[in-house]
Amino acid sequence: MSAAVQADAAAESLPLAGLTVVDLTRVLAGPVCTQMLADLGARVIKVEQPGRGDDARAVGPFIDGVSAYFLSVNRNKESIALDLKDEGDRAIFERLLERADVLIENYRPGTMEKLGYGWDLLHARFPQLVFTSVSGFGQTGPYSGFPAYDMVVQAMSGMMSVTGPEGGGPCRVGVSIGDLGAGLYAVIGTQSALMQRARTGRGSRVDVSMLDCQVALLENAVARYGAEGRVPGALGSRHPAMAPFDVFRAQDGWFVIAVGSDAAFGTLCTLLDIRALASDERFATGRARVTHHAPLKALLEERLASHPRAHWLQLLGDHGIPCGEYQTVAEVVQHPQVAARGMLTQVRTPAGTSLQVAGNPLRTGATHLVRRDPPALDADRESILRDIAAP
Amino acid sequence: MSAAVQADAAAESLPLAGLTVVDLTRVLAGPVCTQMLADLGARVIKVEQPGRGDDARAVGPFIDGVSAYFLSVNRNKESIALDLKDEGDRAIFERLLERADVLIENYRPGTMEKLGYGWDLLHARFPQLVFTSVSGFGQTGPYSGFPAYDMVVQAMSGMMSVTGPEGGGPCRVGVSIGDLGAGLYAVIGTQSALMQRARTGRGSRVDVSMLDCQVALLENAVARYGAEGRVPGALGSRHPAMAPFDVFRAQDGWFVIAVGSDAAFGTLCTLLDIRALASDERFATGRARVTHHAPLKALLEERLASHPRAHWLQLLGDHGIPCGEYQTVAEVVQHPQVAARGMLTQVRTPAGTSLQVAGNPLRTGATHLVRRDPPALDADRESILRDIAAP
């Protein structure tokens, strides 16, 4: 058995086995969505521009000349290069759609229509096809046609306004949450459309807007603003409604203490041997502690400076107070819990060099996560063409 | 027709119509997951602790004495109060499970086993049931039994280490991305288990770890670290690999310019009438611009200070350069695109006061989003008991 045949056999036991996705997406939001579907067992056929392929292939850093950015979000996919303005390639694309369950794209709204693949035409010709689009602002509304990147929707949505130090300027979330959030919602929308199709026999349109998804993730800030009329701002590392619920400095580094109740605060004061704080009026209730969070933090850090964080983590953890070490990416990839969960995996470049990447948080024990390494551009042309030639 | 009957009729056309979810979740990660399933048409029966209910009911701010935190993530659900240590209530709970497609909980690992509802027992008795658990560290591994809040997994995962100003200390993402991320992955896992069940007839176990989900969202930082060996750090509002790709100050406020190519940089320089920059060696390539991002930002802001941001947004937008205004939460809820997309909705407290909350980014035009307002504790006991009494 070849490696590819073995991989396909393993895919049979995965949740989305048997589904075929035609994937026109590029860069991040779309590829995150289709990688999740691929990890879960769908066959994902990545259709790329001849010559250059997915724009992400050009984003550094590179390993063996291959983009690490690309390698991180394109495992378990096949690749074929097609020019959707060429007649022969359009015929191939349409044969793929005939056999597909889902088409996903993240062009700017209007592009698919210009290519002659708008929803109305596609739905008439392939009534079972689910058609998912991810765009900056969605397929409707006055901003629909505008281009957007992650940075733009992080700024417009208010996400930057609630992130960063108190009183500081705009601050980006350190991951591309504008893209990643939209990618995850697009998976949910696509799966639910497939479940609906199982009942109705008909595909439907999933229209995901990156800006909408950021507003959805800001749910608590929106609700607080609605209830109080005060504009939510950035608070550094502390929690808006609980204290002490923040990052604190111990003798040798930062760690988190997350106290969610008066009882837990009492326990904390006892454990730190600063019982006087528990009866201090400024810290008597959750609301009072939030108001006086700054002096409380100073008093706690004065005490915490006496021991390394491992000491405090052990002591607090043993007494059920949620806490945890602040870690860099270099530390988290070596953390025993991350290792025990198998949350990291290896993908290989076409030249065979391995790169450690984040795995999928949804796993079944019996299956291999990486059935296929991220493809070189057009790597699967031959087998894909053979498939669609079959009756 | 009563409002509830109308709501149930509307639900028929939704993607997850016909599915029943028994929901033991509390606070945020779990309720976000079950609200998504409810918005998509599933019947979600929220099982709460008698007396106090979901812990989130006690988290402020309050409107009519009802938690805005709770109202934001519990629409479209029914509520029944059950004591899972009481024999009579356990019998009711088990009758609910007999009729359910999914059970979702976010207790600390081991709790369900102590209640006599561990996976092995449940799977033996209800083989079709999908059982989804969301926990801080997952059901396995050395940290499995530890408590965790959003803040803890943001710190441990490295999320805080890549967020905030360059060279600053730990900085939290301003939304509870630890909870929200896990909630979205839990929806994906649950839906994929339901799709698998449609093929195999058997339910399966979905084990979602908040820490795993944060590592998944850090995918690009993990891949960059793997490729370069340099520990990714926080960069304020700028992009790690492109420039100018940041927030800039205009005469009257901040806005984003996102330049993804040399050609776009040339266009930008022409539009800003600072063509000399395009031929400056420091800014000749993407890599060079990233290296010299600080002087580049200073030079751009010098020019941008001459006009208000509306001027620049119009000019850049007209020439296809991705850009957007930095907004607060107060501004985004009034934005015309957010309004056009219907991304905000109203929920009512039991006393009838409305609160504006974030809607669902997955919508079908034909259906009402809020079929049911967030329930009072135990509000649906009578109708739920009637249902399970029916043969």
Q: For residues B273 and B137, state if they share a domain.
A: no
Collapsed DSSP state (helix, strand, coil) of residue B258: strand
Distance CA A29, CA A150 (A): 9
Q: For residues A205 and A288, state if they share a domain.
A: no
pLDDT score of B27 more than 80: yes
Average pLDDT score over residue span A61-85: 97
Q: State phi, psi for A172 to the nearest 5 degrees.
A: -75, 145
Instruction: Single out the residue of A390, A372, A284 nearest to residue A39, CA to CA.
Output: A372
What's the confidence (pLDDT) of residue B9? Answer: 65
What's the confidence (pLDDT) of residue B365? Answer: 47
Give me the residue from A172, A175, A218 closest to B236, CB to CB. A172
Q: For residues B296 and B358, state if they share a domain.
A: no
Q: For residues A316 and A346, state if they share a domain.
A: no
Residue A239 lies in a domain: no
Q: For residues B296 and B341, state if they share a domain.
A: no
A252-290 residue pLDDT tens: 999 999 998 899 999 999 999 999 998 899 999 988 999
B127-170 residue pLDDT tens: 999 999 999 999 999 999 998 899 999 999 999 999 999 988 89
What's the confidence (pLDDT) of residue A6? Answer: 57
Residue B100 lies in a domain: yes
Contact B172 A237 (CB under 8 A): yes
Tell me which chain A residues have a C-beta less than 8 angstroms from the C-beta of B260. 149
Tell me which chain B residues have a C-beta less than 8 angstroms from the C-beta of A109. none
**Which distant-in-sequence residues (6+ apart) come within 8 Å of A159 by Cβ?**
A153, A173, A177, A178, A214, A217, A218, B174, B175
Q: Which amino acid is at A305?
A: A
**What is the chain B residue with the closest CA to A66?**
B227
Contact A164 B164 (CB under 8 A): yes
Closest CA of chain A from B218, distance in Å: 6
Tell me which chain B residues have a C-beta less than 8 angstroms from the C-beta of A213. 361
Contact A362 B336 (CB under 8 A): no
The number of beta carbons lying within 10 Å of the beta carbon of residue B71 is 26
How distant is the alpha carbon of residue B325 from its chain centre? 23
Contact B361 A212 (CB under 8 A): yes
What's the confidence (pLDDT) of residue A388? Answer: 92
pTM confidence score? 0.96
Residue A331 lies in a domain: no
Helices (H) and strands (E) in chain A, counts: 18, 13
Distances (CA, A) of B269 to A151, B300, B306: 20, 9, 15
What's the confidence (pLDDT) of residue B390? Answer: 79
Tell me which chain A residues have a C-beta less than 8 angstroms from the C-beta of B328. 158, 161, 231-233
If pLDDT is split at 50, 70 and 90, which confidence band does A377 have?
Answer: very high
Contact B237 A69 (CB under 8 A): no
Write down the ipTM of this complex.
Answer: 0.96
What's the confidence (pLDDT) of residue A364? Answer: 63
Q: For residues A123 and A10, state if they share a domain.
A: yes
CA atoms within 13 A on the CB side of A46: 33
Tell me which chain A residues have a C-beta less than 8 angstroms from the C-beta of B201. none
**Which distant-in-sequence residues (6+ apart) come within 8 Å of B386 by Cβ?**
none
Give me the residue from B171, B191, B322 closest to A147, CB to CB. B322
What's the confidence (pLDDT) of residue A186? Answer: 97
Closest CA of chain A from B96, distance in Å: 23
Instruction: Single out the residue of B382, B368, B234, B269 nearest to residue A236, CA to CA.
Output: B234
Q: What CATH number has the domain bearing residue A54?
A: 3.40.50.10540
Domain boundary, last residue among A269, A304, A325: A325
How distant is the alpha carbon of residue B183 from its chain centre? 6
Average pLDDT score over residue span A219-230: 97
How distant is the alpha carbon of residue B51 from its chain centre? 28
Contact B241 A159 (CB under 8 A): no
Residues of A annotated as catalytic (active site), given as ranges: 239
Average pLDDT score over residue span B279-287: 92
pLDDT score of B233 more than 90: yes
Cβ A189 vs Cβ B16: under 8 Å: no
What's the confidence (pLDDT) of residue A241? Answer: 81
If pLDDT is split at 50, 70 and 90, which confidence band does A368 have?
Answer: low
Tell me which chain A residues have a C-beta less than 8 angstroms from the C-beta of B216. 343, 358-361
Domain boundary, last residue among A297, A325, A353: A325
A348-364 residue pLDDT tens: 999 999 999 999 999 76
pLDDT score of A71 more than 50: yes
If pLDDT is split at 50, 70 and 90, which confidence band does A110 have?
Answer: very high
Contact B191 A191 (CB under 8 A): yes
What's the confidence (pLDDT) of residue B1? Answer: 40
Burial group, residue B336, by CB count within 10 angstroms (0-12, 13-18, 19+): exposed
Q: For residues B76 and B19, state if they share a domain.
A: yes
Overall number of domains in chain A: 2
Residue B99 lies in a domain: yes
If pLDDT is split at 50, 70 and 90, which confidence band does A365 have?
Answer: very low
Average pLDDT score over residue span B81-103: 98
Closest CA of chain B from A267, distance in Å: 15
Q: For residues B51 and B148, state if they share a domain.
A: yes
pLDDT score of A50 more than 60: yes
Q: Which residue has the higher pLDDT, A2 or A191?
A: A191
pLDDT score of B55 more than 80: yes
Cβ A239 vs Cβ A246: under 8 Å: yes
pLDDT score of A5 more than 60: no
Test mutation, A190, A205, A222, A344, chain B, max B CBs within 10 A: A222
Domain boundary, last residue among B279, B298, B325: B325
Q: For residues A96 and A53, state if they share a domain.
A: yes
Contact A173 B173 (CB under 8 A): yes
Residue B330 lies in a domain: no
What's the confidence (pLDDT) of residue A380? Answer: 96
What's the confidence (pLDDT) of residue B4? Answer: 55
pLDDT score of B50 more than 80: yes
What's the confidence (pLDDT) of residue B8? Answer: 63
pLDDT score of A46 more than 80: yes
If pLDDT is split at 50, 70 and 90, which confidence band does B366 have?
Answer: very low
Residue B369 lies in a domain: yes
Residue B187: in which H helix or E strand, if any?
helix B177-200
Q: For residues A36 and A104, state if they share a domain.
A: yes
Domain that holds residue B166: 3-217+337-389
pLDDT score of B11 more than 90: no
Q: B123, B239, B311, B335: which is the annotated catalytic residue?
A: B239
Tokens of B289: 């611009």
Q: What CATH number has the domain bearing residue B273?
A: 3.30.1540.10
Q: For residues B286 and B363, state if they share a domain.
A: no
If pLDDT is split at 50, 70 and 90, which confidence band does A12 have?
Answer: confident
- Least confident window among A200-214, A353-367, B128-142, B239-253: A353-367
Residue A226 lies in a domain: no
What's the confidence (pLDDT) of residue A60? Answer: 87
Q: For residues A371 and A307, state if they share a domain.
A: no
The percent of residues above 70 in pLDDT, for chain A, comes to 96
